[in-house]
Amino acid sequence: MDDIRVQRDDFSVADEYQQLCQDNRDDGAVVFFVGRVREQNQGDTISRLFLEHYPGMTERALADIVAAARKRWSLGRVRLIHRIGALDIEDQIIFIGVSSGHRQNAFDAAAYIMDFLKSQAPFWKKEILIGPTGETLSERWVDTRSSDTQARQKWDNPATPDSLP
Amino acid sequence: MIQVLLFARLRDQLGTGAINLTLAAPTTVQAMRLALQQQFTEHADSLAAGQALVAINQSLCNDETMVINSGDEVALFPPMTGG
């Protein structure tokens, strides 16, 4: 039911969507999210990204997050891919796909998995910054954003739709 | 002796991916953190609670009084930035 992968290789959204749908007569909703490398961050131009992870702990943390989502919502299939290593601008970083009987569970679970992954799964991004003529200026480790922390904390609030009467 | 794995910015700052601390096990997260801060005084801030997260046997540990036993896999790293 769950397919969780940490890999260097790119992934095909079409293939993943197919896997969420194939021979699946139960689920009327499929929600997926793709995270990509963008060129601008904090006013600087990025040329590349390097994604480091903690082998072993990463896989365990992702499995725990998906299991927590399954406890909270009734879900069909969950597919989660996070890439590591060197990535270029416009490359895909992450895929989260969730199927469920109805749309709200799939929407909420996909957002929940993403929000927890940001702060609970041991990945770290390093950016390579470039100047106006494309010359490499510096490298920097990306800092946690407070908006990411807030996104996770909102799930602590019991007043989410799944718990309303 | 406790071996501590380091990742990302913390590994770059301390210049190594693993440090052997001459701490007798069992010890605590707090004592491990203090020993590292004393060994790397110039990076004491980066090693402080909140700045450097701790995982014991690949599970996040938010309790500074948590005991580290002999043979435990201990890791220290900055807040995560995946996704």
Q: Is the pLDDT of residue A132 over 50?
A: yes
Range of the domain at A64: 2-156
Residue A164 lies in a domain: no
Judging by beta carbons within 10 Å of its beta carbon (0-12, 13-18, 19+), is residue A108 exposed, middle or buried? buried
Question: What is the CA angle B38-B43-B49, rounded to 5?
Answer: 80
Question: What's the CATH code, domain B2-77?
Answer: 3.10.20.30
The ipTM, to two decimals, is: 0.95
Rounded Cα distance between A163 and A158, Å, is 7
Q: Domain-by-domain residue ranges, chain B?
A: 2-77
Residue A115 lies in a domain: yes
Residue A29 lies in a domain: yes
Tokens standing for B67?
Answer: 């005991």
Residue A41 lies in a domain: yes
Quote the minimal CA–CA distance from B71 to chain A in Å: 16
Per-residue pLDDT reduced to its tens digit, B24-47: 999 999 999 999 999 999 999 999
Q: What pLDDT was estimated at residue A59?
A: 97
Residue A99 belongs to domain with CATH number: 3.90.1170.40
Q: What pLDDT was estimated at residue B55?
A: 98
pLDDT (average), residues A98-118:
97
Q: Do A117 and B83 lie within an 8 Å CB cutoff?
A: yes
Tokens standing for B12?
Answer: 């770059």
Mean pLDDT of chain A: 94
> Pick the residue with more confidence: A144 or A37?
A37
Identity at B35, one-letter amino acid code: A
Rounded Cα distance between B74 and B30, Å, is 13
Q: What pLDDT was estimated at residue A160?
A: 52
**Dihedral over Cα of A40, A44, A48, A54: its sign:** negative
- Per the structure, the count of domains in chain A is 1
Residue A140 lies in a domain: yes
Residues of B in contact with A94 (CB under 8 A): 82-83
Rounded Cα distance between A100 and B33, Å, is 44
Residues of A in contact with B80 (CB under 8 A): 118-124, 144
Rounded Cα distance between B29 and B55, Å, is 10
pLDDT confidence band for A165 (50 / 70 / 90): very low
Per-residue pLDDT reduced to its tens digit, B50-76: 999 999 999 999 999 999 999 999 999
